[in-house]
Amino acid sequence: MMAGRAMDMTIDTNSTVQEMTEAVVSKTDHKESPRTASLEKAQTATKSNTTKSNTTKSSQAIEPEEWSIEQSEELYRINGWGDPYFSINAVGHVTVSPKGLRGGSLDLCDLVNGLKQRNLELPLLIRFSDILEDRIERLNACFAKAIARYNYPGIYRGVFPVKCNQQRHFVENLVKFGQPYQFGLEAGSKPELLIALASLDTKGALVICNGYKDQEYVETAMLAQKLGQTAIVVMEQVEEVEQVIEASKKLGVKPVVGIRAKLCAKGMGRWGTSAGDRAKFGLTIPEILTAIEKLRKADLLDSLQLLHFHIGSQISSISVLKDAFREAGHIYTELSRLGANMQYLDVGGGLGVDYDGSKTTFAASKNYNMQNYANDVVAAINDACTQANLPVPTLISESGRAIASHQSVLVFDILGSSDVVEDTVEAIVEGDHLIIRNLHETYASITRDNLQEPFNDAAQFKEEAISLFGLGYLSLPERAKAERLFWSCCHKIQRQLRSMDFVPEELTDLEQVMASIYYMNLSVFQSAPDSWAIDQLFPIMPIHRLNEAPTQRATLADLTCDSDGKIDRFIGSSSRDVKSLLEVHTLKENEPYYLGMFLNGAYQEIMGNLHNLFGDTNTVHIRLTPKGYEIEHVVKGDTMKEVLGYVQYSSEDLIESMRKRTEVAMEQKQITLEESQMLLQHYERCLTGYTYLSSM
């Protein structure tokens, strides 16, 4: 904790912000490519196009004051985490600009309605292929710019870590969009190796082979080199050095291999332990030296061409990354000096995503941008090689999160809510219990200048009412009346508080107590496992009605019967702030209410599980066209038959068993033939249906 805090304080936020602005729109950079220049023009154009009218006044808003789109922007911080892909349009809907600054946009709410008309039910995972393309272009453009800026005499050749998102359509698109940059793939396991070897057909692109390996893994990767693929086996464990030597002898292949170093520069936050002496992967410096001797003896030292490290994911502080690049640069030059034929330096993952849009070292954020990152990689390695008077390596990064997160949006509907309703305050009648009279008086005493005392009193009277009930002195209707009065007091106090700038500390819990629960048609375990498992924050907000005041505060509960299946941590409105309640709109009768969860394209899909047998959601791939959009692929979510199959139930057997039961029940005259047919029809229809609830 202390170390982390000390580190935060040394960061000069002013210079970081300045550096970022420079990196994003550097007008003085002469080496600017024509593309970057046109991007800037597009940016200016988009800006002037999106002048918003905030004259649309909500007729439904409970609070009479006007609510503007700008207020929604600020509240949900969409410009912080969403730029340049997500924003709010004049009718108060979220819009998606999947090509980033190059123009063209889609109204997310209209898109969802269009997809629903095509029978694609919510929850719906929408992948924007153009965003994926834009992310790949951006990463490569940042490295190209950094290479030009530092006159780096080498190249950048990135790879995508397949573990971030293994879905076939995604990987196929990634390979396609990566072709102009010879973008490759990184495998972290044997099945991922199979994906990488078969999917990547880009000439000159790399396959980086990481993870635990057996002889079969090593041999498969080495044999693939005979197909003309550069599959580099990275030795991550001491035993893998022997495996590599053996496989090379057996197959008669001179492989290209790499070595993963355990750096001293430690990451921080959740994945901080990915580096350091006790990390799960990598060789320590003494182990690397032993490996070099073994390779030398086997006459394979010229096969060792790559140095790899990975200090963890979502590194929020640029200074941590800088330290790692510097250390790795020196290890690289030392390996060269020891006789290895060094060609590549692979800086692993860690390039962060600004989930809360605060641009800070907070775990859900990062205090640098992609350009700063590329600059620091290039500069550090350039320095190390210049100092050692050695040729520079081809630079590789394994950026997963930064490439995959933005492209998918999960849209889900709210099925209903549980609210603390405000009843009209009932008049006191003859014979009302003293406690009820007291609560009534308390209610009357609430004024703007008198909030704390009535709140304490009301709470105490409610406690007393419950005790009296427990002792048999209060009837059930009396207890109900007392509880209703208590909530009326809370409502009255809350209304006063919301119009005040300052909330007394003792009353801050009131909002929490009064919050609604909104029920999501979603399983957190399936669709946002990191939110449940490691408290990760994802931006969540309504995708429509953003020109109306969100007058409710709510936590979100999911469909599972698990009390952990909820979301009660949201990105805050100021730096490092985490809110326990989300501002939402009141639900309207016969009108769906949609929320979007953003930036969840990395890791979530594959880690999602089948808790309560809620399966994969429907997924669509959307591509922007001049006239609107095109649905590239539809991947239907799991049916009940499929999820039941995962737990070894055959739907035929289940139906058969139900049929037999209805026969027995008919024989005993418990059910009519008609009813039994209806039951069986329902049962069979369910089996082929979506595991989520049907909505409007």
Ligand X SMILES: *Cc1c(COP(=O)(O)O)cnc(C)c1O
Site of interaction with ligand X (CB under 6 A): 161, 163-164, 188, 210, 310, 313-314, 348-351, 398-402, 602
Tell me the three-class secondary structure of 633-647, residue by residue.
EEECCCEHHHHHHHC
Tell me whether residue 348 or residue 608 sits nearer to ligand X (CB atom).
348
C-alpha span between 618 and 621 (Å, rounded): 10
C-alpha span between 604 and 623 (Å, rounded): 22
Tell me whether residue 104 or residue 276 sits nearer to ligand X (CB atom).
276
Cβ within 8 Å of residue 276, ≥6 positions away: 262, 263, 264, 266
The least distance separating ligand X from the CB of residue 281, rounded to whole angstroms, comes to 7
Strand partners for 308? 260, 346
Judge contact between 579 and 556, C-beta under 8 A: no
Tell me whether residue 141 or residue 465 sits nearer to ligand X (CB atom).
141
Tell me whether residue 185 or residue 245 sits nearer to ligand X (CB atom).
185
The least distance separating ligand X from the CB of residue 18, rounded to whole angstroms, comes to 26
The least distance separating ligand X from the CB of residue 124, rounded to whole angstroms, comes to 24
Tell me whether residue 402 or residue 582 sits nearer to ligand X (CB atom).
402
Tell me whether residue 111 or residue 283 sits nearer to ligand X (CB atom).
283
The least distance separating ligand X from the CB of residue 346, rounded to whole angstroms, comes to 8
The least distance separating ligand X from the CB of residue 389, rounded to whole angstroms, comes to 30
The least distance separating ligand X from the CB of residue 180, rounded to whole angstroms, comes to 21
The least distance separating ligand X from the CB of residue 530, rounded to whole angstroms, comes to 12
C-alpha span between 647 and 650 (Å, rounded): 9
**In terms of C-beta density within 10 A (0-12 exposed, 13-18 middle, 19 or more buried), how is residue 434 classed?**
exposed
396: its two tokens:
């590789």
CA angle 25, 30, 32 (to 5 degrees): 55
The least distance separating ligand X from the CB of residue 386, rounded to whole angstroms, comes to 27
Say which DSSP state 589 is in: T
DSSP codes of every residue in 275-287 = SSTT-SSSB-HHH
Tell me whether residue 353 or residue 622 sits nearer to ligand X (CB atom).
353
Q: What is the dihedral of CA 533, 539, 541, 543, to 10 degrees?
A: -120
Q: What is the dihedral of CA 162, 168, 169, 172, to 10 degrees?
A: 60
Cβ within 8 Å of residue 385, ≥6 positions away: 329, 332, 333, 391, 392, 393
Tell me whether residue 82 or residue 350 sits nearer to ligand X (CB atom).
350
Tell me whether residue 210 or residue 336 sits nearer to ligand X (CB atom).
210
626: its two tokens:
């001049």
Radius of gyration of the chain (CA): 30
Looking up tokens 């060094």, which residue turns up?
342
121: its two tokens:
């039910």
The least distance separating ligand X from the CB of residue 342, rounded to whole angstroms, comes to 19
Report the residue closest to ligand X, judged by CB. 349
